[in-house]
Amino acid sequence: MQTIRMLWAALTASVVMLGVVCFVVSGQGRAPQFAMLIVLGVSAVAEAVMSFVLPANGLKTGFRTFEAETVERSAPGDESAMFGGQAATQKVFKHPGKAFKAGLIRYQTALILSLALSEMVAINGVILAQLGFDPVEFLPFVAVGFVLMAIRYPTEERIMAAIEKETGVRFPEQG
């Protein structure tokens, strides 16, 4: 977990640095072309959308070959057996630590892709700054890039939820 969080922090810090770079390279006396703002705006929207779509598809693909030992356990909160019914069961990972580590590798790949595409949104802001646009026009790109990075902070709960969603197998309840 430490490595994936360090990676997230480094890439998020790079977006902050891109914001600084924007101010260093901006205002070079060039007359910006409004068409470039539209082109890079459309590009940024596409990159932002793809930062959600491509990693999700990558997770689906990555988990197709995911293999981990599972066991059947009674579903928590199921009271069917008390009234003569069949108790509901669910699959849980037999070795949750191993399953988490194997799933983390697949999750990390999707996370890197989503962070890279989020960073591209901010890079569009740098390009606008280089073209001579004002901060009011290029800073929203950096801000959106930063927000896209921030919402992807990797937590164990988020990673476990992704593994459970893609495999259909639950982690055993703690405690």
pLDDT at 86 over 90: no
Determine the average pLDDT of the residues in 20-24. 89
Cβ pair 32, 132 in contact under 8 A: yes
Name every residue whose Cβ is closer than 8 Å to that of residue 141 and which is 6 or more positions away in sequence.
40, 44, 121, 122, 124, 125, 128
The confidence band for 174, taking pLDDT boundaries of 50, 70 and 90, is: low
pTM: 0.85
Can you tell me the mean pLDDT for 105-134? 94
Per-residue pLDDT tens for 28-81? 666 778 899 999 999 999 999 999 999 999 999 989 888 888 888 876 665 555
Identify the pLDDT of residue 30: 67
Q: If residue 8 lies in a helix (H) or strand (E), which one and from where to where?
A: helix 2-25
pLDDT at 175: 47
Stretch 164-173: mean pLDDT: 90
| Helix/strand/coil for 91 | strand
Q: How far apart are CA 135 and CA 152, in angstroms?
A: 26
